[in-house]
Structure 1
Amino acid sequence: MDSTPTPVRPWRTALLAGMASFLDSSALVSAGIVVGTLYAEDMGLSEAQIGLVLGSQTMAFALGALFGGRLGDRFGRRRVFTWSMVVYALGAALLAVAGGPAPLLAGAVVIGLAIGADLPVSLAMINEQAPEGKKATLVVFSSVLWNIGIAVTMLISAVLSGFGAAGGRVLFGYLVVVALIVLGLRLTMRESAEWQAARRAVEGGESVRFRDLAQLIRPPLLVGVVATGLYYAMWNVGANTMGQFGSFLYVNVGGGEVATYSLVSTIGLGVGLLAGFVFMRFVDTAARPHMFVAGSVLIVLAWIFPLLVGFSEFSLLVTLLLSGLGNSFAGETIYKVWSQESFPTLLRGTAQGTTIAFGRVVAALVGFGTPALASASPALTFAGVAVLAVLAGGIGVLWIPRLPGARQLAVVDH
């Protein structure tokens, strides 16, 4: 019996649910710029305190994803991503008014929980409401929104950086406003039709495979969790380093200024956005694996380049530009697609929340020591990220394409 519902207004769903990625990147980059530079000078934050605040935000993201994904599978996508916006606005407000390390830490944890809970359920919603042949396209659209979030944040920070800590407070205030607007629009959305159909099948007494949490720690689902989790974690160390500590590296290792970094970053993001739209065009075709390989190579080259030519403003900007372009075809962009394709409906959010949590915990642990390590040995920092990028690319080429898809797993037994 084919109970798959007809998608309703999939592009609207992709936009409103995909704002999870916009707000995710905005929060991470804003915290990196403001806490790492603007607040740091005003509040006299040490490298250890900067690492603690930003690392805790990432750790909270992991915890939010773990629980948010599971709650979304149990109680629906809409309920979770509605409440996550309330929590996000609260966290951004705390960061905007923070006067010292303790309230900064509290705000970082709250907003981290919110974006973590929002992401897996929002991506599941996009996938489930998209028509056949366009599912990967609309999921990749969320990554385009991720880049737009970074671009907008960079532009605003370039304008506000000259105002010091006051500019940082305005930047966090902007996030409060966006979160409240998204909350209002999300209240008009309906629940995922695919999720509703799957829940009705369970409640109607049908024997639906792969609906219980314990099944994630047994084959075949365990294999998908391990493969996508390892890929995401290894890639995410570099992405988190550039996202949260890019401005720190540029100022303290490259000897540049925040305003210059922010302005040049927008150029790279513009290129990345164009590349993202190109990937949307081809991600549902046979060209996907070739584009993934190209993106993976660019990411590796991005981190190797400063090791070859030396650390300077120029080489760090090359790292920023190459990694941004590569991430349009690989990294979180393709991870989001794989996560929807590899897991059945009633465990999709849980599986993705688990792998996001793992990846963010790894990034958080690395992030706690990144400022100090990068200051002491930038070469070791960049070499380590490059090795992880190579390993991630290998997983994406040799392992993940061999995983069974959600359609092969989600079978109804009669």
Structure 2
Amino acid sequence: MTSTRSANRHAWWVAFLSGMVSYLDAGAIVTTGTALVLYGNEFGFGIETIAPLSSILTFSIAVGALIGGRLGDRFGRRRIFILTLSLFAVGAAILTFAPGIAWLYPGIILLGFAAGADLPVSMSMIAEAASNDNRGKMVSFTHILWMAGVIIVSLLGALFGNLGVIAGRILYGHLLVIAIIVLVLRLRLPESKAWQTTAAMMAVKPEMRGLSAFKPLLTRRYLSALVATGVFYALVNIAANINGQFSTYMYTTVAGSTVSTASTIGMIITIVSAASLLLLMRIVDGRRRMIWFAIMAILSLVAFMIPALLGVTVTTLVIFGVLYSIGGAVAGEPMYKVWSQELFPTSHRATAQGITIAFTRIVAALVGLLIPSLVAFGATSIFFLMAGTSIVAFAIGIFWIARMPKATDDDPALRDAENASADA
């Protein structure tokens, strides 16, 4: 009993330290959305520069996820997520002390690349430390940390938003401090035992290194899971990414409010979302999670249609934010994280997530470039876009992903793919 409790505490500690990348990822996205508005007033640029910089952040996250995921499967979880967090700290430092617009580009590239590379590796570390009874709960917990990042950044924005560029430096400086603290604590974490076992088995199979390591993901079993989770996440994330990166702009420029007001409202709405995640943690490992998924999908669609049909005002944005924060907590990215741990084996889990995260962020970056045109056409069109992409994502989750079997490390499909590579 004592041993079980100790293992459980260790698993939760791993979940916290590994999951803090979700805090930093959210902090990077929301901070950039707010800080670029503040830096723009100081350095003399507007939405024509904010949108490309936001897309660069998203694209950098994509590249980082693609590279980091594969490196995490090849060289270990711990080694990679210590390196990525070090790079994150460097990027945050550049943005904190940036003397002009030219410094924003390398800072944002480093920040995004490091966060993206860390995400699939850290999620895999958590899944491998958890048990079958609480894996979904622990993975879902990382999204509470994601929400915490939004809440803290919103709080800092509400407190210091009227200070101009100084507020932007405070926001990025906060990410720098948190990254350094987490990095120091991560140094004491041991490597994933599941990865060590799998790595020992793969060591005697040199034919499964390099490009051959991707072959199991191209089998019918795993390719289907890869495509389904990738498309689901890409589509459902469009709304989340737009809301995260352009919320401050919508409140200030479109609805005529202030940065401090937008940050205060955002903080309150995010607290509501964090509370909704507690519901997800209760139901995610049970049999009724897809019923809840469907209910929350409908609630999210209602949220999109409020400003789409009634216009973009502070009131409609608040109603949208509350409803979407509740619905998206269950029928959104948190569920993608859970499915990604369940549908892929240890040897390819981080690689698969890296591919789907990269695809998702590239799609988000491309969509982000269209936002200025959509705003010029009419701000309500943004919410119709969010609704349309989400409908398709929800259908994929309910009618495709939910019917897929969970993966195991002794999956016959995995062994067949490895044997085929060896024969070749």
Size of the alignment, in residue pairs? 408
Matched ranges for 1:247-396 at <5 A:
247-396=248-397
Letter in 1 for 2:329: S
Contiguous gaps of at least 5 residues in structure 2: 1-6, 420-424
Deviation at 1:205, TM superposition (A): 5.7
Letter in 1 for 2:328: N
Distance 2:28 2:380 in 1: 28
Q: Does 1:46 align with 2:9?
A: no
Q: Which residue of 2 aligns with 1:22?
A: 23
Distance 2:291 2:131 in 1: 24
After superposition, the Cα gap between the structure-2 partners of 1:213 and 1:207, relative to the gap in structure 1 and judged at 3 Å, is closer
Distance 1:158 1:337 in 2: 33
SS for the counterpart of 2:89 is helix
Residues 21 and 142 in structure 1, CA contact (< 8 A), matched pair in contact too = yes
Distance 2:384 2:235 in 1: 13
Distance 2:116 2:310 in 1: 37
Q: Which moved more, 1:270-279 or 1:158-167?
A: 270-279
Q: Which residue of 2 aligns with 1:241?
A: 242
Deviation at 1:7, TM superposition (A): 6.9
Instruction: Note the alpha carbon deviations across 1:170-202, whole angstroms, 9 max, x for none.
Output: 111111110000000000000111111111122
Residues 94 and 107 in structure 1, CA contact (< 8 A), matched pair in contact too = yes
Q: Which residue of 1 aligns with 2:191?
A: 191
Q: Which residue of 1 aligns with 2:3?
A: none
Distance 1:410 1:22 in 2: 33
Letter in 2 for 1:47: I
After superposition, the Cα gap between the structure-2 partners of 1:257 and 1:220, relative to the gap in structure 1 and judged at 3 Å, is same
Q: Which residue of 2 aligns with 1:58?
A: 58
Instruction: Note the alpha carbon deviations across 1:352-378, whole angstroms, 9 max, x for none.
Output: 110000000000011123134224321
Instruction: Note the alpha carbon deviations across 1:70-98, whole angstroms, 9 max, x for none.
Output: 00000001111111111001111111122
Letter in 2 for 1:16: L
Q: Which residue of 2 aligns with 1:3?
A: none
Residues 224 and 403 in structure 1, CA contact (< 8 A), matched pair in contact too = yes
Letter in 1 for 2:234: A
Q: Which residue of 2 aligns with 1:131?
A: 131
Residues 61 and 360 in structure 1, CA contact (< 8 A), matched pair in contact too = yes
Distance 1:290 1:260 in 2: 36
Instruction: Note the alpha carbon deviations across 1:356-408, whole angstroms, 9 max, x for none.
Output: 00000000011123134224321222111110011111001000012232128
After superposition, the Cα gap between the structure-2 partners of 1:84 and 1:207, relative to the gap in structure 1 and judged at 3 Å, is closer
Amino-acid identity (%): 39
Letter in 1 for 2:65: A
Contiguous gaps of at least 5 residues in structure 1: 1-5
SS for the counterpart of 2:347 is helix
SS for the counterpart of 1:255 is coil
Residues 158 and 264 in structure 2, CA contact (< 8 A), matched pair in contact too = yes
Deviation at 1:168, TM superposition (A): 0.7
After superposition, the Cα gap between the structure-2 partners of 1:128 and 1:145, relative to the gap in structure 1 and judged at 3 Å, is same
SS for the counterpart of 1:256 is coil
Q: CA-atom RMSD, angstroms?
A: 2.0
Letter in 2 for 1:278: L
Letter in 2 for 1:172: Y
Residues 43 and 99 in structure 1, CA contact (< 8 A), matched pair in contact too = no
Instruction: Note the alpha carbon deviations across 1:292-331, whole angstroms, 9 max, x for none.
Output: 1122122222211112222211111222222111121121
Q: Does 1:114 align with 2:114?
A: yes
Residues 231 and 393 in structure 2, CA contact (< 8 A), matched pair in contact too = yes
Letter in 2 for 1:134: N
Residues 58 and 112 in structure 2, CA contact (< 8 A), matched pair in contact too = yes
Distance 1:349 1:151 in 2: 28
TM-score normalized by the length of structure 2: 0.92
Residues 309 and 380 in structure 2, CA contact (< 8 A), matched pair in contact too = no
Q: Which moved more, 1:369-378 or 1:273-282?
A: 369-378
Q: Does 1:158 align with 2:130?
A: no
After superposition, the Cα gap between the structure-2 partners of 1:43 and 1:341, relative to the gap in structure 1 and judged at 3 Å, is same
Distance 1:313 1:399 in 2: 37
Letter in 1 for 2:24: L
Distance 1:211 1:266 in 2: 46
Distance 1:329 1:10 in 2: 23
Distance 1:375 1:100 in 2: 28
Distance 1:205 1:315 in 2: 58
Residues 231 and 360 in structure 2, CA contact (< 8 A), matched pair in contact too = yes
TM-score normalized by the length of structure 1: 0.94
Residues 60 and 112 in structure 1, CA contact (< 8 A), matched pair in contact too = yes
Deviation at 1:22, TM superposition (A): 0.6
Letter in 1 for 2:240: A
Q: Which residue of 2 aligns with 1:32?
A: 33
Q: Does 1:98 align with 2:84?
A: no
Residues 124 and 348 in structure 1, CA contact (< 8 A), matched pair in contact too = yes
